[in-house]
Structure 1
């Protein structure tokens, strides 16, 4: 078995914006894994919480207010390419996510080759 080095990107998205974020990501990159494109995983609903501080431009809640909102985790993997990752984060996720600071996580891992 051959393992491919990949970035695993996870982002938490309000449920009503999941398709918008996925469409934005797929417009920037086809998320190809072997003979499949637009490969992504959408996890069960969860809850995120945050308190906007001075200087924030919150979509939900006000400055100083603790906010809890429904959220869904969206994940995808791409080969380790820093420029590709930067395009996906900026033009694919941030440009289509409703929060001014979305919760985006990037891990370096491996996955079996197709």
Structure 2
């Protein structure tokens, strides 16, 4: 089992979550579409060569983003990450995943 965590602009969160759920993440026992999220503020500065969804080259941008966490079974983590990358509006989405300890 893995824990998948990603950051996404509030306006795009539902479409990204639905794509990741469709890939098999967010299932706990007899429940699906399980996640936890919290609102925060992300920041970045698009550099030369980037193709920013939000912001302008060389200018610091601050965006209301959700930190979304969900579990993912071993057999679908690669599909979930691929779905996250495909659905996310940023060309370089911030995410991580790690193996969890389960009893």
- 5 Å matches for 1:15-34? 15-29=10-24, 31-34=26-29
Unaligned runs of 5+ in 1: 1-5
Q: CA RMSD in A?
A: 1.5
In 2, distance between residues paired with 1:107 and 1:54? 31
CA deviations 1:30-50 (Å, max 9, x no partner) are 63211111211122x100011
**Matching of residue 7 in structure 1 with residue 40 in structure 2:** no
Is the alpha carbon distance of 1:105 and 1:97 closer, same or farther for their aligned partners in structure 2, counting shifts above 3 Å? same
Q: Which runs of 5+ in 2 are unaligned?
A: none
Map 1:87-102 to 2 at 5 A.
87-90=79-82, 92-102=83-93
- List structure 1 segments (4+ residues) > 3 angstroms apart after TM superposition: none
Higher Cα Rg: structure 1 or 2? 1
- Number of aligned residue pairs: give it: 103
How high is the TM-score relative to the length of structure 2? Answer: 0.89
* Structure 2 CA distance for partners of 1:53 and 1:38, relative to 1, 3 Å: same
What is the deviation of 1:98?
1.0
Q: Who is 2:50 aligned against?
A: 56
Q: Return the alpha-carbon distance in structure 1 between the equivalents of residues 25 and 84 of structure 2.
A: 14
Give the whole-Å Cα distance in 2 for the aligned partners of 1:68 and 1:32: 32
